[in-house]
């Protein structure tokens, strides 16, 4: 697993050059954003140890298998630990038959896509829009899944975008719109118009004075830059 510092507060953890998770430093240890693919547990624990703290929280952007893959093993190894996901994607998190793939009446009636293996771990907390979880502001960005969330750290101006955005070649794209060779998040996305609307709403609600220095996505390298990155992605997507 490749460990890449992105600020004094955080590190990108990349497996197979493709799937990203993030360690974000808090006063009492680390928050792990997404648990990657199965079999990543030792790498996560070793990375946290080498950086000088325990993993005390797990925060999930959404319930796809490449983001919850090591959740159960981490929960077992770490014992009592906070595990958080949105209320909406918590319905996708359990294993079958408890997993609920139904759509609410007000939602676009598109089929929920992507790998949904489920997990045995029960979340200890369901995040809501604009809530502060540790140092991370929780921002609803539905579209890739109905309950997808992104997270913003005002301390260093990092947007942890999950699969609401993808980075390729130093640019930021809406999944399914970017280069042909990185289409996976687009193929697994639930509703493209909702995804675009979420990024527009994120821009519209983020105060202009708020620091915004980089995008850290679930797939692709860290991209330095500000609001113009998201504006360019929306323009490319025709929004």
The answer to whether the beta carbons of residues 235 and 184 sit under 8 Å apart is no
Separation of alpha carbons 206 and 13, rounded Å: 27
> In this structure, what token pair is assigned to residue 212?
């915004």
**So what's the pLDDT on residue 177?**
72
**So what's the pLDDT on residue 182?**
53
As to burial, measured by CB atoms within 10 angstroms (0-12 exposed, 13-18 middle, 19+ buried), residue 132 is: exposed
Closest CA to 146 of 88, 66, 99: 88
Q: For the CA atoms of 151, 215, 15, 187, what is the dihedral angle to 10 degrees? A: 90
Span 25-41, pLDDT tens digits: 999 999 999 999 999 99
Predicted structure pTM score: 0.95
Separation of alpha carbons 227 and 239, rounded Å: 15
SS3 assignment, position 32 = strand
Span 165-210, pLDDT tens digits: 999 888 899 987 765 545 566 678 999 999 999 999 999 988 888 8
SS3 assignment, position 8 = coil
Separation of alpha carbons 190 and 238, rounded Å: 18
With vertex at residue 14, the alpha carbon angle to CA 181 and CA 222, rounded to the nearest 5 degrees, is 70
What CATH topology corresponds to 2-236?
Metallo-beta-lactamase; Chain A (3.60.15)
Structural domain boundaries in the chain: 2-236
């Amino acid at each position: 697993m490749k460990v890449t510092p992105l600020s004094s507060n955080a590190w990108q953890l990349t497996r197979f050059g493709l799937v990203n998770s993030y360690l974000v430093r808090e006063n009492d240890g680390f928050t792990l954003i997404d648990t990657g693919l199965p079999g990543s547990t030792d790498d996560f624990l070793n990375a946290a140890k080498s950086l000088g703290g325990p993993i005390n929280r797990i925060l999930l952007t959404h319930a796809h298998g490449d983001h919850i893959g090591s959740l159960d093993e981490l929960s077992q190894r770490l014992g009592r630990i906070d595990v958080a996901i949105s209320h909406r994607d918590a319905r996708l998190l359990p294993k079958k038959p408890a997993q609920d793939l139904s759509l609410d009446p007000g939602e676009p009636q598109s089929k929920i896509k992507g790998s949904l293996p489920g997990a045995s771990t029960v979340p200890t907390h369901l995040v809501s829009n604009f809530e502060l979880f540790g140092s991370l502001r929780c921002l609803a960005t539905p579209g890739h899944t109905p309950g997808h969330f992104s997270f913003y750290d005002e301390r260093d101006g990092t947007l942890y975008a999950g699969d609401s955005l993808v980075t390729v070649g130093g640019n930021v794209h809406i999944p399914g719109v970017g280069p042909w060779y990185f289409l996976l998040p687009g193929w697994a996305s639930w509703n493209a118009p909702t995804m675009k609307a979420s990024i527009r709403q994120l821009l519209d609600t983020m105060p202009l004075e708020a620091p915004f220095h980089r995008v850290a996505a679930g797939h692709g390298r860290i991209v330095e830059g500000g609001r113009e990155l998201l504006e360019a992605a929306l323009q490319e997507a025709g929004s």
